[in-house]
Amino acid sequence: MSADTLRPRIAALADQCVMCGLCLPHCPTYVLDGDETESPRGRIALARALAGGDLEPSASNRLPLDHCLGCLTCERVCPSGVHYGELLTATRALLGPRPRRARSLLGVLKRPRRLRALARLGAALGAPHWGPRLARLLPPDSAWGAVLGALPPLPKAPPPSHPAAAPRGRVALFPGCVADVYETEAHAALERLLAAAGFEPVRLPALCCGALDRHGGEAAASARDADDVRAAWAAAGANTLLTATPGCLGTLREALPGVAIEDAMAFVEREGGALRFRALPLRAALHLPCTEVNVARADGAVRRLLARVPGLELLPLPAQPACCGAAGSHVLDFPRRARDLRAIKLDQVQALAPQRLLSGNIGCRLHLAAGLSERGSALAVEHPLSLLARQLESP
């Protein structure tokens, strides 16, 4: 989309805002900084001025827009129905990517084959042991430090499944990029739950949905990713597309308008009414990623599904601040700010004294687990789907 098209669209979206300020106490960056420019209202004013030519782009006046986590909590609580997510994406596309964006690192993370090969090389060199220590020696705003501190050892790949045709039809699974490498257990768990519910799961090829580029102002690269998504979907032969990573959901819906695209947990909760689970006496803290709450709107479904495990005591984390700080590439672009937000969430976790932490988004899970490790905590962090599949009663 050209600048001539983006500018009037941004102005129209900005004009939806009545500047009431009801979103401010819900914004994680406003809570963190207490600064009007680090709030949705302040960013909308900046976007309007930049789109209208009243303000020339500079490093200082674009910084609050770059700082935005895109959690969309403001959009959910807005009484005027402002489409803040679209406004943010359009403004970033107009401005282009930030000059110091970690393109080479993102180029690895977006491509599962490269990431898996690098993880295997790292495992051979003992990186899971020395990586976190090296990360602490790097500057606080180092993107490589954020990655070395967060990526765990490469998980063992579960045995491949060969599901038979099922009476309730075929459902496609989107494995993503980083999730394809580090969320293999959750994907296998989802396949098992779907098969038990009477569906035939089929995985799409591992690729990036485009969210990392779309949220970073790389509009052309995001469009290429969307083309890959459409080609993979066309070959799937399914009616519904599921993702176990809610951070991919909004971008997938943009790429495939008119396609039924759902959060995997919400789908299993609705369609898996006959599933039964073994008892599990466990205190589990539940972190609900902002995309699961504000994009998928699946927070209620997640709670209802986990509540079907007898003996499982769910301890939801406080809603504020909404974001843990991972926020896609934000953790690479602004590691110090990401750690500050994570610290608040980890304090909330430790105050609950759980035996396990559940989080349904790969970026959040890795970010939180790295923070717990830095604190010397052995608390396990896993996807809720993994827990559910282990407790599933055999038919």
Residue 131: its pLDDT value, please? 83
Residue 156: its pLDDT value, please? 80
Question: Given its phi and psi angles, is residue 200 left (phi above 0), alpha (psi -120 to 50 degrees) or beta?
Answer: beta
Domains in the chain, start-ordered, CATH in brackets?
A: 3-95 (1.10.1060.10), 282-391 (3.40.50)
Residue 164: its pLDDT value, please? 61
pTM of the predicted model as reported, rounded to 2 decimal places: 0.93
Residue 161: its pLDDT value, please? 64
Residue 314: its pLDDT value, please? 97
Q: Roughly how many angstroms between the first and final C-alpha of the chain, as a whole number?
A: 52
Degrees to nearest 5, angle at CA 370 with 342 and 34? 15
User: Tens-digit pLDDT profile for the chain (395 aa)?
Assistant: 788 799 999 999 999 999 999 999 999 999 999 999 999 999 999 999 999 999 888 888 899 999 999 999 999 999 999 999 999 999 999 998 888 888 888 888 999 999 999 888 888 888 878 888 888 888 888 888 888 888 788 888 777 666 666 788 899 999 999 999 999 999 999 999 999 999 999 999 999 999 999 888 888 889 999 999 999 999 999 999 999 999 999 999 999 999 999 999 999 999 999 999 999 999 999 999 999 999 999 999 999 999 999 999 999 999 888 899 999 999 999 999 999 999 999 999 999 999 999 999 999 999 999 999 999 999 999 999 999 999 999 76
Residue 257: its pLDDT value, please? 95
Residue 27: its pLDDT value, please? 96
Residue 392: its pLDDT value, please? 96
Integer Cα distance of 22 and 26 in angstroms: 8
